[in-house]
Amino acid sequence: MSIRTFAVLALVAASGVASAQTLSTVGPASIGGGTFGDRATNYSWDDGVSENSVGLTSGGVLAAIHFFPVTAGDNVITSVDVTWGTALFAGQNGVVPGTPINYYVWANVGVNTDPTGANSQLLFAGADVIAAASTDTDIFQSLAVPNIPIGTTSFFVGVSVAHAAGQFPIGVDTTAPTFGPVSWAGGGAAFNPANVGFGAGGAIDIATAGLGNWMLRANAVPAPASLALIGLGGLVVGRRRR
C-alpha cells in the first residue's frame, strides 16, 4: 500500500529534526469544537495553507499523525484540528462531507518522535464526520477532546479516514520550511490506534517522501491542579458534542 498525492511531487531527503513548532495564542480559522474548544496554545507545523492532499494509491484507511513537544506547560488537549482536501484543487480531491472519521490523542512513551507501536500510548479516541465547511477550504474542523492531560514532554495527535482509490482526503503544507520527522502516516487496509503503524510496518515520515507536513493541529491549555493529579492511565472514548 503506497501513499499518493493529487499533484506530482519529487522525492526529497527528509528534513532535519525541527527545533520549534509554530505556536499561537489565537486559534486558526475553524469550525466546531464543542464545549472543549479552549486553546491557550495552538500546536502546529503548518502555515495555514495547503498545497496538496494525500491519499492511498489503492484506497484504504489513511491516518495522519503529528508529534509535538509540550510548550509553556500547556499539556491538556482540548481539541484536534484538521483540514480535508486542499483548496488548490478544490472539487478534485474526492472528499465527501459526512464521511466518518476518527481522531486520537497519544502520550509519547518512546525515546524519539516516532509513534510506531509501543512508542505511543493511546489516551483518547473520538469519532465524527467530515464537515462540509472544512472540505477543500483550508478551514480547520475542530474536533473536541475532553481535556486530556498528556504529560509534560511531548505527545501525538491524529485523524484517520477510510477512502477509495482516487481520493485524496488529508491536506498537506509543502511550503518551506517543512519539518521532520514530525508528520507521520499510518494505516493501510486498517488502522489500529493502539498499535500505530502502516500496514505490517511502522509509521512513515511523510517528509521523507517530500510531502511536507499535515494540516493537522492540536489545541491545549495548562493543567489545573485537579487534572495534574490524573495519570496517563485510562483510555477515554468519546464523541464530539453538537
Which among 163, 193, 155 has a CA at the least distance from the CA of 84?
163
Contact 67, 182 (CB under 8 A): yes
Which among 104, 185, 179 has a CA at the least distance from the CA of 143?
104
Measured over all CA atoms, what is the biggest interatomic distance in the chain, rounded to whole angstroms? 50
Angle (nearest 5°) at CA 2 between 112 and 68: 25
The number of distinct structural domains making up the chain is 1
pLDDT in tens, 193-231: 999 999 889 999 998 888 999 999 999 998 875 444 434
| pLDDT, position 228 | 43
What range does the domain containing 114 cover? 3-239
Cis, bond preceding 181 (omega within 30 deg of 0): yes
pLDDT in tens, 58-94: 999 999 999 999 988 899 999 999 999 999 999 999 9
pLDDT in tens, 102-133: 999 999 999 899 999 999 999 999 999 999 99
Which among 65, 237, 27, 56 has a CA at the least distance from the CA of 141?
27
Say whether 225 sits in a helix, a strand or coil. Answer: helix
What is the pTM assigned to this prediction? 0.81
